[in-house]
Amino acid sequence: MPLIAGVDSSTQSTKIEIRDLASGEVMASSSASHPAVVAPVSEQDPESWWTAFNTAWAAAGSPTVAAISVAGQQHGMVALDEDAVPVHPAKLWNDTESAPDADDLNIRLGGPAAWADAVGSVPVAAFTVTKLAWLQRCRSDAWQRVTRVMLPHDYLTARLTGSITPGAPIGRVTTDRGDASGTGYWSPAAGEYRWDVLELIDAHRDWAAVVPDVLGPRETAGQWMASGNAVVAPGTGDNMAGALGVGLGPGDAVISIGTSGTVYAVSKTPTADPTGAVAGFADATGRFLPLVCTSNAAKVLDAIRHLLGVEHAEFDRLALAAEPGGPVLLPYFDGERTPNRPEATGVLDGIRSDITREQFARAAVDGVTCGLLDGLDALRQLTQLDGRVLLTGGAARSQALQQVMAAMIDAPVVLSEAGQAVATGAAVQAAAVFEQVDHAVIQHRWGLGEGIAVERSASDETLRERYAALRDR
């Protein structure tokens, strides 16, 4: 049977899964690192993504595949000149230099409610629209050379199809509705670009010639001639692919704990939250994906673990050995997206002279958990969640995090068996486009959506109250 490739181009690395189309069995997997970035200035050369992809592809055996899809980190800004050369390094989602531009744009369109009505979300520094405004304001020479603007996954998709080759004229560039919905200038409800939003940045530019064409869920972006004319699927954002990879069902919610943390669910109807807490995205199937994103998740655990000088298993042991009621950590290490505090830093409250390593580790776990549960609460205000809560992402493998989550969530908590949910979801999309079937057909065939139930344990009854008091000071 044919092979299918799913690609996860994240902030930190490119990960690839090669799956058998019939069974979904993983036939090969690989990864390659991206250049390290640290907010507030978080930038990468798009060429480094292409290099990482090729490195990872070679490590996977350079197989001939029937179809391929790229899922990429959301929101980033790739701006190219007429020769397909970046006019500036790509701004990533966690770059916060555009925070003043987010504030300005919010005012100019008429406030948060107007934005939520226009594009389903209230833009913060993460959104592509704010990064374009930053480029126009701060790099005028570069701005004048811009001919195309796209998202990270769009760039890689276009490299696969041959639409982009540095030094050559640019061909057709495409995106999908899921990733487009995170730009801040495409409306999930209307299914179209909001030219009036883009004109806030530059009223004299022909924006229709600058932004990608938005493909439907099973349309084809082109062919990858280097792999036997493989079908190239539209691709999507990492969260949209993650929803496909975990087999997210109606009423379920996902808590994804990677570099950042996300909480999301599938909705049949578009959502709009004027508070800005919940972003009203589209998904990769034709439905919608209300989502809350925090900037600080696994990296907080890693930072504290490194300070303690321990490996993952010992960190979990320390955290689980701590007695309730210890110090509280507000984990806004590199600014925060939800709530929108781009200049914030972390705060450790309640330290006494007898603080222990156990308490320090537990504070990190508790702080990350509370931030994500705030997101779950916000999501419940907009959509019905009466099913499971699925845990995914690298840090979801932490036993300490699992147990604290399960103790504090009034719903079944399940550890997703999708090891690389984003790459798996990209493979699901590639398979669905290749066969021209609904994504659910592939998910069912491959047995996605299963998981391991996390047992509930005693909870710290006052933790969320103490966390909220620290958060709201």
Active site residue 238: yes
Q: What is the pTM of this model?
A: 0.92
Average pLDDT over residues 286-304: 95
Q: Provide the pLDDT for residue 417.
A: 86
In this prediction, residues 321-325 reach a mean pLDDT of 92
- 339: cis peptide before it, omega within 30°? yes
Look at residue 237 and give its three-state secondary structure.
strand
Q: For residue 36, with 0-12 CB atoms within 10 Å meaning exposed, 13-18 middle and 19 or more buried, which class applies?
A: exposed
Q: What is the pLDDT of residue 319?
A: 96
At residue 162, does pLDDT exceed 90? Answer: yes
Q: Which residue has the tokens 């790229």?
A: 70
> What SS3 state is found at 348?
strand
| 112 is a domain residue | yes
Cα–Cα separations (whole angstroms), residue 285 to 282, 369, 385, 448: 8, 29, 19, 16
Is the pLDDT confidence value at 457 over 90?
no
Cis peptide before 40 (omega within 30 of 0): yes
- The confidence band for 456, taking pLDDT boundaries of 50, 70 and 90, is confident
The verdict on residue 470 lying in a domain is no
pLDDT at res. 20: 98
Q: Residue range 317-337: average pLDDT?
A: 94
Supply 10's token pair.
């994240």
Q: Which residues contact 253 (CB under 8 A, 6 or more apart)?
A: 263, 264, 265, 376, 379, 385, 387, 388, 389, 390, 411
Q: What are phi and psi of 450, to 5 degrees?
A: -80, 160
Sorting pLDDT into bands at 50, 70 and 90, what band is 250? confident
Among candidate residues 238, 334, 374, 460, the one labeled active-site is: 238
Band of residue 392 on the pLDDT scale cut at 50, 70, 90: very high
Q: Which residues contact 397 (CB under 8 A, 6 or more apart)?
A: 312, 415
379 part of a folded domain: no
Scored b (16 or more CB within 10 A) or e, 297-307 reads bbbbbbbbbee
Question: Does residue 158 surpass a pLDDT of 90?
Answer: yes
**CB contact at 8 A, 207 and 193:** yes
Is 149 part of a structural domain of the chain? yes
**Count of domains observed in the chain:** 1
Cα–Cα nearest to 29, from 10, 14, 16 = 16
Output the six-digit token pair for 327. 């110090």
Q: What is the largest CA-CA distance in the chain?
A: 65
Q: Residue 52 sits in which domain range?
A: 3-238
CA distance 462 to 324: 9
Tokens of 239: 């969260």
Q: Are the C-beta atoms of 334 and 38 separated by less than 8 Å?
A: yes
Which tens digits make up the pLDDT trace of 416-427? 988 889 999 999
Could you give the CA distance from residue 256 to residue 386 in angstroms, rounded to a whole number? 18
Kindly indicate the confidence band of residue 259, based on its pLDDT and cuts at 50, 70 and 90.
confident
Q: Take residue 411 and report the two structure tokens written for it.
A: 């719903």
* CATH code of the domain containing 129: 3.30.420.40
* Residue in 123, 392, 395, 370 with CA at minimum distance from that of residue 259: 395
Q: Is the pLDDT of residue 3 over 90?
A: yes
378 domain residue, yes or no: no
Asked if 231 contacts 191 with a C-beta cutoff of 8 angstroms, the reply is: no
Per-residue pLDDT tens over the stretch 52-78: 999 999 999 999 999 999 999 999 999
Tell me, what's the pLDDT at 464?
96
Assigned domain for 10 exists: yes
Q: Please check whether residue 73 lies inside any domain of the structure.
A: yes
Mean pLDDT taken over the chain: 96
Contact predicate 224/160, CB 8 Å: yes
Q: Tokens representing 465?
A: 């109250």
pLDDT at 198 over 90: yes
pLDDT in tens, 96-118: 999 999 999 999 999 999 999 99
* Residue 351 placed within a domain: no
